[in-house]
Amino acid sequence: MTNFNIIPDRRKIFNINKWTWFPKDVLPMWVADMDFPAPKPILDSLDKLLKHGVLGYELPGKVLHETVAQRMDDLYNWKVSSESVIVIPGVVSGLNIAASLFCTDKKGVAVQTPVYNEFHEVKNNNRVPQVDIPLRKKIKGNIISYEIDWILFEKQIKKTKVFLLCNPHNPLGINFSRRELIRMAEICIKHKVIIVSDEIHSELLLDKNKFTPMAKLSKEIEKNTITLIAPSKTFNVPGLFCAFAIIPNKELRDKFQKEVQRLRLHVSSAGLHAAQAAFSGKCDSWLWELNRYLTANRDFLVNYVSKNMPNVKTTIPDATYLGWLDFTETGIENPFEFFKDNAKVALSDGKIFGKGGEGHLRINFGTSRAILKEGLDKMSKAMKNS
């Protein structure tokens, strides 16, 4: 059993990280990495690499491609060939490569706001237009959820070439249903829009939820989809930068592969070794325990907000370790600055996620229960004292 209540001190690490970005007296609950050590099989594989001592060039071998393809089969019964798998340094690189290859200066990317800030950078990085498709907020008591406005979805998708789907969704924690995915895909196919499905959070499932990759839904959808996955969020190894694009459509894949080669987007040997251990199945019992712990943290967060934070609304995320708090009815004008200054807690400012993010904060609950409680206690005290 892993004890997720114990977390190492990251303030001792000399480079900048989640714990050293803000001044020492500020509790960090922002960037999306967790405070837990990676599972032992990953650490053992890195240990082995270091003990060998030679850290020369390494390229991903056949075994790693096969391991990724096998994982898709094991998890979802999604059969992909190992040739469909392209190794890339990060999912964000994958989003940008796809936009650079398939967008034009008239037709760019579509995003469902509020959404992960890097989605908003794709338009700037590639000088292409961005079309927003805001998700529609629903309020029930102090619980908020979001749904797709289908008329708007089709109206906006038509104007683009690439749909950047975030599923599960950061920061809203939505695990889109098969029905929703099929409907989104059908509209994209109708308007010849390529789907780039960022599924980086797909294994961080709360409440034993099940995930369906977009591309698994039909052969036609698979042909129109670039799937981006990584072990980085799930096994907390984002600093090793290793991700995968799964592209069964050969025409799309060849273009993507060429661009990866042109830019020399190599992954470090440490990233390759960690990914092999992560996706081999050896870390699955750790992951099961992690998801149980995260589910309890999510419940703790939702209950805490309901009981102790008047007028604050919250999502109940299906997946991820990210909560989404709505302060629009609290009278707090700039929640990010308010809590940083008055509670000494740094969350992610909702504004960075685009339309619909103002007045909201994203909270990272991928930490020990004690740290989560400490952060929430500080926030609730600051609200009482204001």
Smallest gap from Cβ 161 to ligand PLP, in A, equals 20
Site string for ligand PLP, 296-335 (x = CB under 6 A): ----------------------------------------
Phi, psi of 307 (to 5 degrees): -85, -35
Are 200 and 232 spatial neighbours (Cβ–Cβ below 8 Å)? Answer: yes
Which residues are CB-neighbours of 344 under 8 A, at least 6 positions away? 25, 26, 27, 378
- CB of 166 or CB of 383, closer to ligand PLP: 166
Interface pick for ligand PLP out of 157, 243, 319, 345 (rule CB under 6 A) = 243
Q: Give Cα 246 distance to the centre of its chain.
A: 17
User: Which residue is nearest to ligand PLP, using beta carbons?
Assistant: 90
Helix axes 178-190, 150-157, angle to 10 degrees: 30
206-235 residues in contact with ligand PLP (CB under 6 A) are: 230, 232
Interface pick for ligand PLP out of 67, 96, 170, 330 (rule CB under 6 A) = 170
Between CA 84 and CA 87 the distance in angstroms is 10
Smallest gap from Cβ 372 to ligand PLP, in A, equals 18
- Helix or strand run (H / E) with residue 207: none
2-41 residues in contact with ligand PLP (CB under 6 A) are: 32
**Position 204, amino acid:** L
Residue 166 engages ligand PLP in binding (rule: CB under 6 A): yes
- CB of 198 or CB of 203, closer to ligand PLP: 198
Smallest gap from Cβ 183 to ligand PLP, in A, equals 21
Size of the site for ligand PLP (CB under 6 A): 13
**Position 239, amino acid:** G
- CB of 244 or CB of 338, closer to ligand PLP: 244
Residue 172 engages ligand PLP in binding (rule: CB under 6 A): no
Site string for ligand PLP, 54-93 (x = CB under 6 A): ------------------------------------xxx-
**Position 18, amino acid:** K
- CB of 237 or CB of 309, closer to ligand PLP: 237
- CB of 163 or CB of 304, closer to ligand PLP: 163
Pairing of strands 143-147, 136-140: antiparallel
**Position 263, amino acid:** L
Interface pick for ligand PLP out of 198, 318, 326, 349 (rule CB under 6 A) = 198
Between CA 38 and CA 40 the distance in angstroms is 7
How distant, in Å, are the alpha carbons of 180, 182, 194, 199, 255 from that of 185? Answer: 9, 5, 9, 15, 22
Q: Give Cα 64 distance to the centre of its chain.
A: 22
Tokens of 185: 């895909």
Are 301 and 349 spatial neighbours (Cβ–Cβ below 8 Å)? Answer: no
- CB of 92 or CB of 206, closer to ligand PLP: 92
- CB of 362 or CB of 378, closer to ligand PLP: 362
Are 310 and 138 spatial neighbours (Cβ–Cβ below 8 Å)? Answer: no
- CB of 166 or CB of 343, closer to ligand PLP: 166
- CB of 41 or CB of 90, closer to ligand PLP: 90
Burial 6-18 (b: 16+ CB within 10 A, else e): ebeeeeeeeeeeb
- CB of 72 or CB of 332, closer to ligand PLP: 72
Interface pick for ligand PLP out of 114, 238, 248, 375 (rule CB under 6 A) = 238
Interface pick for ligand PLP out of 4, 30, 116, 365 (rule CB under 6 A) = 116
Helices (H), the chain: 40-52, 62-76, 91-102, 117-126, 150-157, 178-190, 219-223, 250-262, 269-279, 284-308, 335-342, 369-385
Smallest gap from Cβ 166 to ligand PLP, in A, equals 5
Site string for ligand PLP, 118-157 (x = CB under 6 A): ----------------------------------------
Residues that bind ligand PLP (CB under 6 A): 32, 90-92, 116, 166, 170, 198, 200, 230, 232, 238, 243
